[in-house]
Structure 1
Amino acid sequence: MNKLLMLLLACWLAVSGAVAQPVRVDAVEAELVAASDAAVPGGTLMLGLRLRHDPHWHSYWRNPGDSGLPTQLELALPAGWSAGEIAWPAPKRIFIGPLANYGYEDEVLLPVPVRVPAGAAPGEVRITARAQWLMCRDVCIPGEAELALPLRVAPTAAPSPQAALFEAAMAAGPREALPVRVGLGDGGRASLAFGLAGVQTAEFFPYAPALVSAPAPQRLFRLDTPGASGAQDTPGRWRLELALAEGVDRAALDKGGFLAGPVGVMRVDGRHYEVVAGPGEAGAGGVLVATAEGRDESRGAPQGGAASRFLEGVGGGSSAPAPGAVAAPGGGLTLAMAALFGVLGGLILNLMPCVFPVIGLKVLGFAGHGGAGAGGGEARRGALAFAAGVLASFWVLAALLLVLRGAGQAVGWGFQLQSPAFVAAMALLFVLIGLNFAGVFEFGLRLTRLGGAEAAVAGRGGLAGSFGAGVLAVLVATPCTAPFMGSALGYTLGRPAVEVFVVFAALALGMALPYVILGFFPRALGWLPRPGRWMESFRQLLAFPMFATVAWLAWVLGLQAGVDAVLALALGAVLVALAAWLYGRFVQASAGSHRLLAGALALASLACGLWLAMPAADAGLAPAGGAERSPGAGAASGTAGAAGASGTAGASGTSGTSGTSGTSGTSGTSGALPVAWGVWSEAAVQQARAAGRPVFVDFTAAWCVSCQVNKKLVLERDPVAGAFARRNVATLRADWTQRDPLITEALAAHGRNGVPLYLLYLPGESQPRILPEILTSGLVLAALASIE
């Protein structure tokens, strides 16, 4: 019987040797595996931590990037055995909002070499390990597991079922050294110069944190001219240009070990090298070969997550995705879901204020067709022409986004409104459209002219007008977004061109769908009055939303380029309006000899107006008065002193330091109120509540991506910081960067096992209000508005 049990045990070890049962911890499955089925005395045994991530979750490399924590593995080995360091496979850059992390998604194996002593006795051994990692999606959860692996010690060993995983992991790590020369250029940039043959792509991952900007694009230049033979095996000279982190100079690079020795891993055409810095000059210039895409840190992601980043540059305007949306490129969407969201977003976009004038145009057009009857066929053709104009415009925008993305620019919906010159041009265009609606002059848009239905259905002219109305609809829609649009557009970040065009086509379909339906089913327009003088009045009424848009764009321009730019725009708009009046009064409405002179004066006035209104190319972001705008600078994810729990924000114009009472002012030029974060504790919460103050608690951590995005884009921006100060809110920060059992218990008490968590305690309410993980300024301000 004992022999039978021993035989069964040996069979079990033969089958399960080098494999143990995986352990599931939240979104990650962890397992300790080996590359061979036995440990050979005097040899090296490859063990590995195998992590399987749920979709859209990730863990981190040895340098986690802008936030995060590297995975750790502690092995408990038999006496005399020794383990080396993790042989890290090269990571990928994971973009979330304005940040980038170095990490792994899906499945990763982290190999560790283990030296087996020559005197290891044959038989069975049991290796145990303690693994710790950080898993993140829209929240970050620390993971920990105790793992075990039964193994045999034998004279020979065969590959285990996991041997292929080890081969892939080792191939994904650096196998040979790549000597480079490091050079520093202007504008906070560094270059790595190296020599290899036939390089097409390159991407660098630094060992040292906080030296190289993780989200910035990396550009590859060829420094020499390929030989006439064009042989691919001829070594060439290359330069990879990197953006340094803010404030990093040569001294910081030297201190961080970036100027000598191993400095990181470079992926070159799918092959990985350990980059070793040495003496010499990196050179400059060269021919741009490729760009490893990145994000523009100065713009970042808009409030609420990556999907909403498309409106962050529009003068403070923002729109957020649904609470809890995944703040990552593409989120959790499939192409089909993104297309569906695009159709829904396009439909809702018609209800946005910026599209209202174009809705009016289509109402006039359908009314001009008389709804049914003889005009029914023309109404259908006009609706299709409008849809064609919408589709063509969306595809042009998609093409522009792809071209700029290929050039290494991080752009999205409404990207053009980040340019003061474009904002000014849009304002002048809307001035002209408003004057056209008001009847100052006539130019196109014959669909809105009175004089009979025949003018509205005038063959090619009517269809051209409908197509132009579609183009205008998209043009005026770019400052706006709608629910579902954020998720759909966020899906396109980093996606192939075909998928980008599919999503943009879905947006166009949604936007044009109501008009196509009405065009094909004109009986639905029976509620419209018959064509008449009301159309002229309604058309003139549409001028005022356009003028309101001009006022809003002028405000945007003021935030971007200052009050002088607004004055120049106003004067330019006067000259453009004069040109429109001259054209309508003397060119269109007159057949006399004065037409030529009036036309020349109109052109001159238009040219002067455009020249005067266009901001300078180097227009900054200074507000009126020329002072530099500065978002409220709050504390880091660490603590800011307990005084913040009871202190109040200081007046603008005081010193930028925090006093012992918790007062926190700003520099005399910024006009912003930074948030004075106090150290969270239950006692601090109760003390502030006993004093009758509202309390806002930020459960955060330095490694939490969503926490840093919310802090950078919402909590420490002027609107929210000012609201905290005006309402005398006690702001407390619970820093979970290092494990804290009190914070862990507080998170569990509110049904959470990770950060971020945002609590708002209001006077008179026994329980706090829990805000979503993904914040927007509007969401926080709305919550604060309930404070009496």
Structure 2
Amino acid sequence: MDKTIIPIRLVQKILALMAVAVALVMALAVPAVGVAQEAARPTHIAAQLAAEGPIAAGQTVMVAIHFTPDDGWHGYWRNPGDAGYGMQLKWQLPAGWQASEPEYPVPRQLLISGLMNHVYKGPYAVLVPLHVPAGTLPQTGVPIALDAQWLACTDVICVPENAQLQFRLATSGTASDAPRFAAWRAAIPALLDQRAAFEITDELLRLAIPVPATLPLERPHIFLGSTDIINYAAPQRFSRRGNQLIAEIPLALRGDAPDAIEGILAFDEDDGVHFGADKGAVGAAGVPVAPNGAMLPSLLVLLLGAAAGGLLLNIMPCVFPILSLKALSLARAGENERQARKEALAYSAGVILACTALGGLVLALRAAGEQVGWAFQLQEPGVVVGLLVLAAAITANLAGMFELPSVSVTRSGEPASAFATGVLAAVVATPCTGPFMAAALGAALLLPPVEAMVLFAALGLGLALPFLAVGFIPAVRRLLPAPGPWMARFRHIMAIPMGLTAAALAWLIWRLAGAEYAFLAIGISAAVVASLAALGSGQRAGTRSLRFTSVAGIIAAIVLAFGLADAYDPPQSARSETALIDAKPFSQARLDAARSTGKPVFVWFTADWCLSCKVNESVAIEREATRDAFAKAGVIALVGDWTRRDPEITRFLTSHGAAGVPLYLWYPPGGSAQQLGQVLGPETLVTLVGTGPVTGPISGPISGERQPSVSGGTLLPAGSASGSD
């Protein structure tokens, strides 16, 4: 038995020694050259070591780890956010050498299912300072090695990856990687030489960061290096107080509050500064800053803008369908002063309550991490079905098919009717952001909740102002025609635009959820109208003999409603075959690629439920003159369809201070975005393309030119001072 065991053990030892020998031979075979040596390519992200130049004893050399993700894949910043994990590095260096903390470029935000990630989607380099001790260096160079581990992800899956990277640092010669290192260094955010201050309240992390008041901020965002402190996906609020930028970020603190924090203040997607902050007094917030860097007007100016926008909303195309309800109410209000005031107050209460309720719901959803904007309710097919049924019922009411006090607009002395009309006016009117409204609504998404709710109430007040004027100013009321038989005829005539509104809602449902869904929605509306017509017939006859028919219609509507979920099949968003402008669907990547071509770019955001958007497209965009001007100038056109909820478009709208559509942006070659007015004239775009400067309403440049450095607080060059991240 022993004679059998001993030879086997000898064989095992021999094999082990052979494996060690092979490993030593491979280790000694590392080339002694001063250029990067690329490891075996990982599955999805390639990694490569490179050095800035020849090393010298007693100095610091910068080494880069250059990553190249495959298309659709991304790597992570050292604080990955809500998911993922940062890179892990294990260096093998000669005795006495030291590696400092890695220095990262500005990451980008990636929101997936409410989780915010800090990522890099294209090639990027992480720089690591290596400190070389004093002494003699070998002429053949110094070998170093690195065991790196990282996470590679798409928007769907993640794969842990690693690489063993080897490199021989040259001690003489020229730096072959100098051009690449210049670009990599420029991408590292410079270090502020002044410390910021921070404080933690019950709900917020508040920061006071010293940056000059003149520094343009296109899309400010705080990437906090310290973990377990903030809600990464929550909106960040910024304001300016002199040469300090005040940032307020909702908390998600786990554990004790730290004594110091650090991170990156991003100016836009590529530029930023690295800051450190100590506990201290932050002070009151200053003038609010929109995400595009523009300082918001004062609250008084915003309130006046919201009220003026609401007032003008009464004549916007998207509000026309409800003018019939207003017209009848205005006519009825002329009967007596007391009744007119009651009607005006009830109507105004309905409008203001609906506007503030919609605004509060938008703020609540955004605070919960949802990417929604103004008029988000019309992006939900179920809500539009409800509006379709309501519009069909009001059409039947105006046509005289039935009388129902809660929606009848011809009953005298019925404040509940005026209140319901006001609510309906606000719900139907608010999808469009008319002139003066854009700045106010965009600011409402940035201001503290109380001030934001005041802005939404001011919008409702502006929408209700004509009705209030009739109710409380006798001279205005006397201009109205006296009540009479004409009102009944006018009521029946006004059933036509309301019926057209119902048809438009049915078309919108088809665009949102598909043909079968729209067919069922129309069936539900028809069943409800048939039921109400049966009820009205009984009302006129003074009997209840048709109650069974009415109940049968309601049952049919309920049965059809159960089939809506299974019928949901939204069509693909596609440009009409008759569209004149050759526009591609919007995405941030496509916009970046278009701007990189050096050609002018025009981007517009629209929705099928926004009538003012469609009017602008008909009047100014989808025209032969505009098409020819675009073709001559080489304009690249992109269109963002916000008919259905699209988080990327919502984030982009918010980043430009817009709460809804329409939004029109013009990018001159190599220049920053210019925001056009929300009402376009027939020649606006033709003139814009032909002359360069924008004629007509414009919000001015969205951002200034990028400035890679800041003074006072001054910036230290990357890699100087402490040289740590």
TM-score, normalised via structure 2 length: 0.48
Say which structure, 1 or 2, has more relative contact order (CA 8 Å, 6+ apart).
Answer: 2
TM-score, normalised via structure 1 length: 0.44
